[in-house]
Structure 1
């Protein structure tokens, strides 16, 4: 069962809460962001602090404004960085992360926070024989089902706490002891501001197979539209097999990983953003960041992204269909930029998201 929380207009503004905000352990929470989940964590912590809450961020070493008393370890690929991925672990690293989460949970219990907001993907943040004590916790589900996490949630029962998900599509994949509140992510519309537009397309994010940037290249080539790619190599083998060969010749440029300011400037100066998930995309933050700049979106209608863009001033394509994507890109380039910006401000601002989570925190405290 899933339900959507009340609109932000109906949410009261309580006195500040003491919140422990737990980020995923793999990458530091800082700009330039490793991905949308890291961006969500950083911007949400800032928004919650702006709303008057005391927020301690627990994250990987090197994060911005985190609690240094207990740092999550990250993943050390040692002498083999070319083997790095966003999902795997070299020998011993997963065990090191698990031990850190056991220590973290014990610390959170001792400190007695009003609420713990868990955004990690590690099962040891939930009750176990190593840390069985109760925590007033809400967990945001940012991904499709992760089997070991699902098993731990089922075993913990009501002690697993409250749950939120970034879309109905994502919520529907999980089984939780309590109803899942659907709270879409928000964009800092004060930072992602309208740009002048341009003639080129842009694709930005992690260059990994499930994000499908090679299909964006193919569609733009069909149209003869220049394309900028911005983002880090999240999978070296995929980049060398699918991206590097497509960069030879034509108007396709990979700009690497940009600062957030440079990325915002780039997106605002483009005619369209292409979003090409090849998995059941839980949310797709890049689409909403682009729209905050007034830059229209052409995207595969897949997962939460297709759900949340239905009815938006965006253009959707059949998943994995390059011809359909090319048509969507062409159509999106003619959408009025002011309508695009107005829609995302009205529906997906960061302030709205922070206030919806505040309501859920209150529910977790009294449960």
Structure 2
């Protein structure tokens, strides 16, 4: 089915519940949801965003509660829950599911990490953004064919799940009008969530070994990790934290840097920051791990042995020699947001309505 013959759909896009969908984004998943909503709307579909309180442009009458660590900020993490928060989140998703059924959407595009939606009769299309989560996997198994259709952001991620039918692999896309090329510079850059699984401390060690200063930006998602592993490495001018930036600020920073380090310590499903950096023309040195390693294998990028600082330092020097226009052109050709939105629009027409 071509784009011209794809019927216009009424779509509910369900975001993850932990953080608001607004800039500065809490992470790549939140950024994906917001940018995809705009891109799919531009194709003529009606898209309603369901997300946490405090989001931008969402349906306010049926909000998800979000997570607040205000009573114990030092315990904050991106995976745990403060007391009572998990039960409140599950209850909110049950209310949302009943609302979605009453509204009669053509498609419910689920990007959340909850098992709850699989317990309700909805026309689901679920995008898998993470390796298999036991509770969600169990809910999918219990639902069987009623679980709907699935996409995954990489083949590596798709392979980690057991599904009623194979997932369609649709890698994430980058808004190449926003992430524009820049002149480069002298420093390296790292940006993303500052949590142990993102491996910022290894990027800091590699840049010190490579003899290049590092600028890093992002939200502190684990305060203990930040205080014990990051702050002690911020000596002299070796590494500088520039805070949490919105996309405009990040584009300015990244486009004026020499090379970008991407250092996952888990099986990274996609690694959006790598593609955002490349859209700025900034070459990437990354650990060859998960979907990130899969998708960058044929890219103008330098891949390193996972968790190996020496290998990463060598990859920094290799990446620094890659031509910036070549890097930018590869992302435009393979990972533009417009291409991704069109692929989803075509897939929406294949999801059976209920």
Q: TM-score range by the shorter chain?
A: over 0.9
Q: Name 2:311's counterpart in structure 1.
A: 324
Shift of 1:259: 2.0
| Matches for 1:212-361 after TM superposition, within 5 Å | 212-361=199-348
Shift of 1:322: 0.4
Shift of 1:135: 1.3
Shift of 1:78: 3.2
Residue 131 of structure 2, aligned match among 131, 144, 160: 144
Shift of 1:251: 2.3
Contact 1:274 1:297 in 2 (8 A): yes
Tell me the number of residue pairs that the alignment of Structure 1 and Structure 2 aligns: 354
Query: What SS does the aligned partner of 1:138 have?
Result: strand
Per-residue CA deviation, residues 160-199 of structure 1 (Å, 9 max, x unaligned), is 1000000000000000112110000000001101111111
Contact 2:124 2:351 in 1 (8 A): yes
Shift of 1:360: 1.4
Residue 98 of structure 2, aligned match among 106, 117, 122: 106
Query: What SS does the aligned partner of 2:261 have?
Result: strand
Q: Name 1:175's counterpart in structure 2.
A: 162
CA distance in 2, matches of 1:163, 1:200: 40
Establish whether residue 58 from structure 1 lines up as the match of residue 50 from structure 2: yes
CA distance in 2, matches of 1:116, 1:215: 39
Shift of 1:366: 6.1
Establish whether residue 124 from structure 1 lines up as the match of residue 116 from structure 2: yes
Q: Name 1:46's counterpart in structure 2.
A: 38
Per-residue CA deviation, residues 83-129 of structure 1 (Å, 9 max, x unaligned), is 111000011000000000000000000000010000000111112xx
5+ residue gaps, structure 1: 1-5
Residue 140 of structure 2, aligned match among 142, 149, 153: 153
Q: Name 1:18's counterpart in structure 2.
A: 10
Residue 76 of structure 1, aligned match among 68, 79, 82: 68
Contact 2:128 2:150 in 1 (8 A): yes
Query: What SS does the aligned partner of 1:341 have?
Result: helix
Residue 194 of structure 2, aligned match among 198, 203, 207: 207
TM-score, normalised on structure 1? 0.95
Per-residue CA deviation, residues 305-326 of structure 1 (Å, 9 max, x unaligned), is 0000011000000000001000
TM-score, normalised on structure 2? 0.98
Contact 1:301 1:317 in 2 (8 A): yes
Query: What SS does the aligned partner of 1:196 have?
Result: coil
CA distance in 1, matches of 2:290, 2:170: 15
CA distance in 2, matches of 1:365, 1:247: 53
Shift of 1:17: 0.9
Contact 2:107 2:353 in 1 (8 A): no
Going from structure 1 to structure 2, the CA distance change for 1:316 and 1:12 (only over 3 Å counts) comes to farther
Q: Name 1:30's counterpart in structure 2.
A: 22
Q: Name 1:87's counterpart in structure 2.
A: 79
CA distance in 1, matches of 2:5, 2:263: 38
Going from structure 1 to structure 2, the CA distance change for 1:341 and 1:13 (only over 3 Å counts) comes to farther
Q: Name 1:3's counterpart in structure 2.
A: none
